[in-house]
Amino acid sequence: MATAQDPALEIEELIAKINHLNYQYYQNSVSEVSDLEFDQMLKRLEELESKHPELRLPHSPTQRVGGTVTKNFETVFHKWPMLSLSNTYSEEDLREFDKRVRKIVGDEVEYVCEQKFDGVAISLTYENGKFVQGATRGDGTRGDNITANVRTIRDIPLQAHGKNYPELFEVRGEVFMPLQVFEQLNAEREETGEQLLANPRNATSGTLKQQDSSVVANRKLGCFSYSFHTENSPYETHSESLQAIQKWGFKVSDTWRKCGNIDDVMAYINEWETRRTELPIATDGVVVKVNSYALQEELGFTAKSPRWAIAYKYAAENASTKLLDIEYQVGRTGAVTPVAILQKVALAGTVVKRASVHNANEMQRLDLRLGDTVFVEKGGEIIPKITGVDFEKRPAESQPILYPTHCPACGTELVRTEGEAQFYCPNEKGCEPQILAKLEHFIARKAMNVDELGPKTLVQLYLAGYVRNAADLYDLTLEQLVPLERMGEKSASNILKSLDKSKETPFERVLFALGIRFVGSTVAKKLAEELPDLEALRGATYEELIAINEIGDRIAQSIIAYFQDPDHVQLVERLKAAGLKFKSERTAPEIQSDKLESQTFVISGVFESVSREELQQLIVSHGGKVVSSISKKLSYLVAGDKMGPSKLEKAEKLGVKMLSEDEFLAMIK
C-alpha cells in the first residue's frame, strides 16, 4: 500500500482493490475479505477523496453502488434506485447517526429496526396486483431480469391478495436459503465430489443465476419482504407499509420492531445479538430506518446511500484455541480432506472441537503447525473454519505440517488432478472408507432408500466379506444376516423386504445411487429426462452429453469414464439382473395433433418460456419425434441460448434447418 504522503497512488490502489472485491462478490459470489476489512478500505478511500477532491476519479467505487451487471440475463432499469446502506460496527457511530437525523428533522423521530438477513436483495414489480418482474440489485440503477427464477420462490405471491393496492408498485426483499436447505445442498455436493459452498449467501446468489428455473425450485429459497415503493404512497410510515404488504400476501419477518428513540434501538440490537442464532437463516446485523416517509424525504440521500437509514453490523463471532492435530478423511469419491482437531472452545452458541481446513493449499496458505493457537470462525454461522494463526504464540520447536503422500486408510499413493485443489486416493475398489461410503450413498433416502439397512450393519456385512459393492446387497440371504450382532430373524427379514422394495425406485434415483462422480440428484434427473434408459446413457457421446442442459465438460467426461470401466459395467449389469429399473417410466404425453408427424427434432440450449422437457413433450404430443444426434435426415434443430457449438457447427455443415423457440411454438399453434 502507498504511504500517506502519496494520496494519488493510495487512491488508485484502493480503487483497484475495492473494484476487484466488488466484482468477486457480485459476479462470482466470492468474499475475499471480511465485511469489516472491506468497509475500512471504503472509508479510507472516502476520507482521501474528501481531503483531495481534485483526485476523485469517475470510476471510484464511492461514486456508484455495488458491482457490475452480469450478462447472463436481460438488463432492466430500476424505477426507484436500489441504494446500499452505510455500515457501522459501533454504538458511538449509531448515536452519531441519530444526532445527525435529529439535527435536520427535530427530536420527534421514530425508528424501525429490522434484521439484516444475509441473502440477496431483489426487487419485485406488480401491475394490477400481478407479479410481472423480478430483478437483482445489480449496480443499484440496473439489474438482471430473473423473473422466471423468482416465480419458483413460494414466499413471493404471483397475485397480491385483497384489492386495496396501487395499480403499479414495487416490493423489495431479501432472498435467502434456509440453513437446513444449505446443509442438504452441501451434503449433496460432498457426495458428488464438488467443492462445498462457504455460506448460504453464496449459495443463494449462485442459485438465482441458474439458467434453469427448475433447479431454483429444487433449492427451496425463501424471501423476506422489507420495503414498499409506489407513486403517491397511501401510507405515512414504513411500519404501515410493512403491515400492508403482509396483508397482500408477502412474507414479512416478525422480528421487526418500532422504536421510539435511539435507546430503544440499542436495546433491540443488544437483544438480537444473541437471539439471532435462534433464526432459521443467517443474519449479520440490524437495519435502522426512520419510520416517517415525510421525514425520509426531508433527510434525502447522499450519492450512494439514504441519510435516513443505517446498517449496524455485528462483528463475526470468532475464538482462539489450540490446534491439536490434523485428521485426514477419505470420502466416497476418494477425496482426502484435512480436518483440524481443536482444543474445545465455545463459539456462536456451540462447543467447537473440529474445523474445516479444506485442502492442502489452504493449509499451506495459513502455514498451520501443530500446537499453533488458531482463530476459528463460523462461516455463514454454520461451518467452523480456521481463519488465521496467532504467530506470536507459536511454539519455538514447531514444524510445518506435511500433507500425506499416501492414503491414510489403504496406503495407496495419492494423486492430484490438474486444476483441482484436492488430493485423491485412486484405489476406489480396495479402499475401505471409499467402499463403505459408496454403499451408504447407495442405500440413502434420496437414492435407493433402503431404510431398514444402516451404516453399522453395512460395516458388519463388509467385515464378514458378504458385501463389496452395491450389487452384493441383492444377493444377501436370511442365513447370512441373522447371525450378525444385534440382528434377529425379524430384523433380517425386514432388511430383505426393504431391498426388494427398493427395486421399485425410478431410473433417475437409481442413476444417482450409482455414485458417478459429479452426478448429483439434479443431474441424474436431467440425464434420465434426456436419455431414457441405460443403453442410451451408456452409448451417449461427449457431444450428446454436453448438449443436455446442466451437463458440462467434467460431468460428461466422468460419465464416459465410468462406463469405460469393466467393473462398473459388470456392477450395472448385475443390478439390472437383480431387477432394478434402468429405464424411465415417464408416461407419453397426450396426442394433441399430427402437425409434426414424420418430423424429427433435436433440442439444444436453454429456453425462455418453456423447459427442454416441456419442448420434448410438445413435439411428441403433436406427432413428432425427438432424437439425440444431428444427421442429414434430421428435420429441425430447435436452438436455444447457450447451444453447444459442436451441434451448431454440424447442423450448419449438413444444412439442417434451425428453429428459434418462437418459430417452433408458432408451428404448433
Cα separation, 477 vs 610, in Å, equals 49
Catalytic one of 17, 71, 103, 116: 116
Please state which of the ranges 374-383, 499-508, 612-621 shows the lowest mean pLDDT.
Answer: 374-383
Query: Quick check: 401 and 389 in contact, CB under 8 A?
Result: no
**Model confidence band, residue 28 (pLDDT cutoffs 50, 70, 90):** low
**Model confidence band, residue 72 (pLDDT cutoffs 50, 70, 90):** low
In this predicted structure, what is the pLDDT of residue 64? 45
pLDDT digits (tens, 9 = 90+) for 503-529: 999 999 999 999 998 898 878 988 988
**Model confidence band, residue 229 (pLDDT cutoffs 50, 70, 90):** very high
**Model confidence band, residue 587 (pLDDT cutoffs 50, 70, 90):** low
Q: What mean pLDDT value characterizes the chain?
A: 87
pLDDT digits (tens, 9 = 90+) for 389-402: 999 999 999 999 99
Look at residue 211 and tell me whether its pLDDT is greater than 70: yes
**Model confidence band, residue 650 (pLDDT cutoffs 50, 70, 90):** confident
pLDDT digits (tens, 9 = 90+) for 31-62: 778 777 887 888 888 888 888 888 877 557 66
Q: Taking residues 532-537, what's their average pLDDT?
A: 90
Exposed / middle / buried, residue 300 (Cβ in 10 Å: 0-12, 13-18, 19+): exposed
Task: Give residue 318's Cα distance to chain centre.
Answer: 24
% of the chain exceeding 70 in pLDDT:
91
Look at residue 69 and tell me whether its pLDDT is greater than 50: no
In this predicted structure, what is the pLDDT of residue 93? 93
Exposed / middle / buried, residue 278 (Cβ in 10 Å: 0-12, 13-18, 19+): exposed
Q: Taking residues 108-115, what's their average pLDDT?
A: 96
Q: Taking residues 593-615, what's their average pLDDT?
A: 84
Select, from the ranges 1-5, 563-567, 624-628, 664-668, the one with the highest average predicted confidence (pLDDT). 563-567
Look at residue 122 and tell me whether its pLDDT is greater than 80: yes
pLDDT digits (tens, 9 = 90+) for 128-182: 988 999 999 887 888 889 988 898 888 898 888 888 899 999 999 999 998 888 8
Q: What is the largest CA-CA distance in the chain?
A: 87
Angle of helix 455-463 versus helix 432-443 axis, rounded to 10: 130
Please state which of the ranges 227-236, 372-381, 408-417 shows the lowest mean pLDDT.
Answer: 372-381
Q: Taking residues 589-598, what's their average pLDDT?
A: 85
Is residue 116 part of the annotated active site? The answer reads: yes
Give the full edge-to-edge strand order of the sheet including 636-639: 625-626, 600-604, 636-639, 657-659
Cα separation, 310 vs 304, in Å, equals 12
In this predicted structure, what is the pLDDT of residue 238? 97
Which segments of 108-195 does DSSP mark as H helices, in order? 147-150, 179-191
Pairwise pLDDT comparison (666 vs 63), residue with the higher score? 666
**Model confidence band, residue 453 (pLDDT cutoffs 50, 70, 90):** very high
Q: Taking residues 575-600, what's their average pLDDT?
A: 86
In this predicted structure, what is the pLDDT of residue 549? 64
Cα separation, 638 vs 659, in Å, equals 5
Q: Taking residues 80-90, what's their average pLDDT?
A: 88
One-letter amino acid at 607 equals F
The pTM of the full predicted model, rounded to 2 decimals, is 0.55
Neighbours of 664 (CB within 10 A): 22
Query: Quick check: 349 and 395 in contact, CB under 8 A?
Result: no
Which domains are assigned to the chain?
7-63 (1.10.287.610), 75-313 (3.30.470.30), 318-423 (2.40.50.140), 432-504 (1.10.150.20), 507-578 (1.10.150.20), 600-667 (3.40.50.10190)
pLDDT digits (tens, 9 = 90+) for 301-352: 876 789 999 999 987 778 899 999 999 999 998 999 999 999 998 876 667 8
Task: Give residue 452's Cα distance to chain centre.
Answer: 32
In this predicted structure, what is the pLDDT of residue 171? 97
**Model confidence band, residue 642 (pLDDT cutoffs 50, 70, 90):** low
Pairwise pLDDT comparison (329 vs 213), residue with the higher score? 329
One-letter amino acid at 291 equals N
Query: Quick check: 341 and 354 in contact, CB under 8 A?
Result: yes
H or E, element range at 558: helix 553-564
